[in-house]
Amino acid sequence: MNHTENDFKGRWIKTLNKTYHPVSSWVIEFHSKVDIKKDNFKIETICKNQIEEYFNKQGDAIWLVDNNGKKIPALSQTGAEQEKKTLRAVFSGHELKILTVKNKNNTHFIKVGAKNIFFSVKKFFKIRWV
């Protein structure tokens, strides 16, 4: 790994470790022939201590599991920014909430947000204005 790549990796790890308070929802995408509905799956991610080993492995850091914890055969097509938002939200202690699921040609567009998003916004403004 060259010097530039090491610098980028260091910035990436530092960014993922920063506290994050999402104020809006975002969309993650998975391709699967499995019928994915809003209430029949959960989003799982790597652990915070695995960040370094997942550098440059976009799409492998988040996945879907059914309600029994079994991994759903689905290929992540989530963009780097949305994957980063997902990881930062989870690493900051937020529980993800699935807002909507839309399916188009076996690509599932999953709109997610933080369950405690309103608390986060109030906390943000309290910190900023008090």
Please tell me the pTM assigned to this model.
0.82
- 36-80 pLDDT, tens digit each: 999 999 999 999 989 888 887 878 999 999 999 999 999 999 998
Return d(Cα 92, Cα 111) in angstroms, integer: 19
Return d(Cα 32, Cα 29) in angstroms, integer: 10
Contacts of 100-105 with C-beta under 8 Å, sequence gap 24+, read 100/38, 101/36, 101/37, 101/38, 103/35, 103/36
Residue 120 has pLDDT above 50, yes or no: no
In the chain, what are the domain boundaries? 3-129
pLDDT of residue 55: 81
Name the residue with higher pLDDT: 128 or 79: 79
Name the residue with higher pLDDT: 30 or 56: 30
> For residue 28, which of 114, 97, 111, 91 has the smallest C-alpha distance?
111
Tokens of 17: 């470790």
